[in-house]
Structure 1
Amino acid sequence: MITALLQRGTTDDVQYAAQLGRSLLHAQAHDPELADGRLRASYEPHPFVTKDTTPYVGSPSVYTGNMA
């Protein structure tokens, strides 16, 4: 999604892509269990983070093949 937004390249698209990127960086930095830089296969979008800013994880899976 980030790549598609950047390729389209409108100002709004670039800002949205940057926000999505910051969200992924936040998820990496605040993982409630792993905290080793991996991204999970199933962050839940609603809410993406809990009240204490921890990402809401729907499943502890980290299937790197699916995420590639």
Structure 2
Amino acid sequence: MSPKVIVVYDSKYGNTKLVAETIAEGMREVEGTEADVSEVKRVDLSKVPDYDAILVGSPTHIGGPTWGGF
């Protein structure tokens, strides 16, 4: 069975989105790996159990993650 991964991100200026897309692109280079990318506000929660792994990306603000999107 092929692993299915989702990279979920919150991005204020687009930089974290770019990193999330780059990570997913790299994962897709591994034969048989399926990788999706979604902004946290747009994740279809009913499909989350279909994934084998969830990666979470967030920009930082004053040394910590932003929680606005989460």
Q: TM-score range by the shorter chain?
A: 0.3 to 0.5
Structure with more relative contact order (C-alpha pairs < 8 Å, separation 6 or more): 2
TM-score (norm: length of structure 1): 0.35
More helix by share: 1
